[in-house]
């Protein structure tokens, strides 16, 4: 078992009780990056040799990805935060919908399976609570590499065209710098015949982590982290040992929580330049930030309103937009938060308004007038990052809050409440005897305020 498995229906009957007006103090240890670990697990399908991954966070998303690999015949040994992955006995079959359902990263398997075994059948990952999340960039890129792809009954069926057993290196220009598509195509191209160039590639640190691991496995990938990545295909990839990079989104969430409560904390280990857009905004909003090696200390002062626009790396990460919005609810002045990556990532706004925040939402832009205080209440989170935003709001608020929808939180934050407890926050997971009804998790959205525009 990869992580402490929490049955989804049980998770739905749990909540976090938060005693408001808390303060954080101390040092918090940052876990390995979820988004890196997910793609590194998929990349392990590219070799028959053993991959040893260190610093893998124990999360339900990782558990799901592990179960997908096991279903293909991968032998997975889980020792604390270390995973030993052995893909030598895998059998190629359609990934079952029950396993991929709800895990968008499951689609990553298509690249390695196609390029190593010549075929792959992966169910469409579907949309999610933050937007429709198409996969056209993955599909078009794989086709350019020589794959024949059809979609039948929501299953993406891909195989190498003609009688060849290898994909063909080619030039691909992405329409948008999709993180997932860049990763899918890098993995597919690493075993292709000849050179592939990916232009307008995403530059997120998780992509650099993937390329570093693939290069350790024998791949020839140049310029990851730049807009144009070059991949010279090789015949075979081998095993390696790799340590997952620290989770910059978890790290940013703790920094934002500290700023929101006028608290001083140190986060470690982190790679400070992965967090530059976030620390710059925290600095602009009044915090003092000091960086020493692989740790960052925040010492907040008066909290001022600032504007943010989410953008691909090195811009401000969309995954921290919701927590930053929670922070701005109590900043002095007016801020404008613009979401440019996903079309429906403002689910937290009407909940923050219920708590007393003064926010006007126009499509994907939130106009916030800072208030002195917000009030605690019972709320249901509807996606991963908005659950973190609501917990931060609960910590700031006057009075107590109960945050439901923990199945989202547990997808992406390892031991979140234990870490907050260590920092001095009064927070407890409550287990209700009665299982909550699904309807309880339907959020009464304010339809005119939920943006439906196409993602940037
Ligand atoms: C990854 C991260 C997610 C993060 C996001 C943006 C993982 C597991 N998840 O998601 O946490 O919020 O990057 O930093 O790594 N798009 C298309 N066509 C495609 C693919 C994407 O139009 O084929 C659009 C999407 O709808 C979205 C934008 O591109 O508007 C960015 O999506 P993408 O970068 O692909 O995000 P993910 O890889 O799904």
Residue nearest to atom 26 of ligand 1 (CA): 133
**Domain shared by 316 and 341, yes or no:** yes
Please tell me the distance between residue 179's alpha carbon and the centre of ligand 1 in angstroms: 5
Is residue 212 domain-resident?
Answer: yes
Contact (CB, 8 A) for 135 and 110 = no
Neighbours of 404 (CB within 10 A): 25
Is residue 419 domain-resident?
Answer: yes
Q: Measured between alpha carbons, how far is 294 from 292 in angstroms, rounded to an integer?
A: 6
Domain boundary among 187, 221, 243: 243
Domain boundary among 243, 260, 292: 243
In this predicted model, what pLDDT tens digit does every residue of 158-167 receive, in sequence order?
999 988 889 9
- Assess whether pLDDT exceeds 60 at residue 195: yes
**Domain shared by 108 and 239, yes or no:** yes
- Assess whether pLDDT exceeds 70 at residue 374: yes
- Ligand 1, residues 102, 138, 176, 248: which to mutate, most atoms within 8 A of Cβ? 176
Ligand 1 site, residue 135, Cβ cutoff 6 A: yes
Ligand 1 site, residue 126, Cβ cutoff 6 A: no
Q: Write out the residue range of the structural domain in which residue 231 sits.
A: 34-243
**Domain shared by 280 and 388, yes or no:** yes
**Domain shared by 58 and 150, yes or no:** yes
In this predicted model, what pLDDT tens digit does every residue of 86-112 receive, in sequence order?
999 998 888 888 888 889 899 999 999
**Domain shared by 27 and 79, yes or no:** no
Please tell me the distance between residue 365's alpha carbon and the centre of ligand 1 in angstroms: 19
Domain count of the fold of the chain: 2
For residues 272-283, average pLDDT? 98
Q: Measured between alpha carbons, how far is 142 from 137 in angstroms, rounded to an integer?
A: 9
Is residue 345 domain-resident?
Answer: yes
Q: Is 436 a catalytic residue?
A: no
As beta bridge partners, residue 221 has 231
Residue 179 CA: nearest ligand 1 atom is: 34
**Domain shared by 190 and 256, yes or no:** no
CATH number at residue 232: 3.65.10.10
Domain boundary among 243, 262, 285: 243
Is residue 445 domain-resident?
Answer: no
**Domain shared by 93 and 215, yes or no:** yes
Is residue 396 domain-resident?
Answer: yes
The active-site residue out of 3, 109, 128, 211 is: 128
- Assess whether pLDDT exceeds 80 at residue 286: yes
SS3 137: helix
Q: Measured between alpha carbons, how far is 156 from 97 in angstroms, rounded to an integer?
A: 12
Residue nearest to atom 21 of ligand 1 (CA): 178
**Domain shared by 25 and 45, yes or no:** no
**Domain shared by 338 and 189, yes or no:** no
**Domain shared by 25 and 47, yes or no:** no
Residue nearest to atom 13 of ligand 1 (CA): 179
- Tell me the pLDDT of the chain averaged across its residues: 91
Is residue 110 domain-resident?
Answer: yes
Instruction: Indicate the pTM of the whole model.
Output: 0.93
**Domain shared by 171 and 231, yes or no:** yes
**Domain shared by 229 and 347, yes or no:** no
Lowest mean pLDDT, pick from 99-113, 196-210, 421-435 = 421-435
In this predicted model, what pLDDT tens digit does every residue of 9-33 receive, in sequence order?
555 679 999 999 999 999 999 999 9
């Amino acid at each position: 078992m990869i992580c402490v498995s929490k049955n989804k229906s049980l998770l739905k009957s749990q909540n976090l009780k938060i005693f408001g007006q808390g303060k954080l103090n101390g040092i918090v240890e940052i876990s390995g990056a979820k988004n890196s670990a997910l793609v590194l697990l998929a990349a392990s399908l590219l070799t028959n040799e053993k991959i040893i991954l260190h610093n893998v966070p124990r999360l339900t998303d990782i558990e799901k990805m592990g179960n997908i690999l096991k279903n293909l015949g991968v032998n997975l040994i889980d020792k604390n935060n270390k995973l030993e992955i052995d893909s030598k006995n895998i059998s190629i079959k359609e990934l079952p919908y029950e396993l991929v359902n709800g895990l968008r990263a499951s689609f990553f398997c298509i690249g390695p399976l196609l390029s190593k075994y010549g075929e792959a059948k992966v169910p469409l990952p579907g949309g999610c609570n933050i937007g429709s999340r198409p996969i056209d960039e993955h599909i078009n890129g794989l086709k350019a590499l020589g794959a024949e792809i059809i979609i039948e009954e929501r299953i993406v069926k891909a195989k190498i065209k003609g009688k060849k057993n290898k994909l063909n290196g080619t030039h691909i220009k992405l329409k948008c710098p999709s993180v997932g598509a860049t990763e899918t195509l890098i993995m597919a191209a690493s075993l292709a015949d000849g050179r592939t160039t990916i232009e307008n590639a995403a530059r997120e640190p998780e992509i650099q982590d993937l390329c570093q691991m693939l290069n350790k496995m024998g791949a020839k990938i140049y310029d990851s982290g730049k807009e144009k990545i070059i991949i010279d295909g090789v015949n075979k990839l081998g095993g390696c040992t790799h340590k997952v990079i620290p989770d910059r989104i978890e790290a940013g969430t703790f920094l934002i929580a500290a700023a929101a409560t006028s608290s001083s904390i140190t986060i470690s280990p982190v790679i400070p330049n992965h967090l530059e857009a976030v620390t710059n905004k925290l600095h602009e909003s009044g915090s003092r930030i000091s960086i020493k090696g692989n740790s960052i200390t925040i010492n907040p002062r008066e909290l001022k309103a600032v504007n943010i626009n989410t953008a691909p790396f090195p811009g401000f990460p969309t995954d921290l937009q919701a927590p930053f919005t929670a922070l701005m609810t109590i900043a002095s002045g007016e801020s404008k938060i613009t979401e440019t990556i996903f079309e429906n990532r403002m689910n937290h706004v009407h909940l923050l308004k219920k708590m007393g925040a003064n926010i006007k939402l126009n499509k994907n832009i939130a106009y916030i007038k800072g208030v002195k205080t917000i009030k605690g209440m019972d709320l249901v989170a509807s996606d991963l990052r908005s659950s973190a935003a609501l917990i931060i709001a609960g910590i700031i608020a006057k009075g107590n809050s109960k945050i439901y929808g923990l199945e989202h939180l547990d997808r992406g934050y390892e031991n979140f409440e234990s870490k907050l407890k260590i920092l001095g926050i009064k927070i407890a997971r409550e287990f209700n005897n009665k299982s909550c009804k699904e309807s309880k998790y339907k959020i009464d959205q304010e339809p005119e305020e939920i943006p439906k525009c196409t993602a940037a």
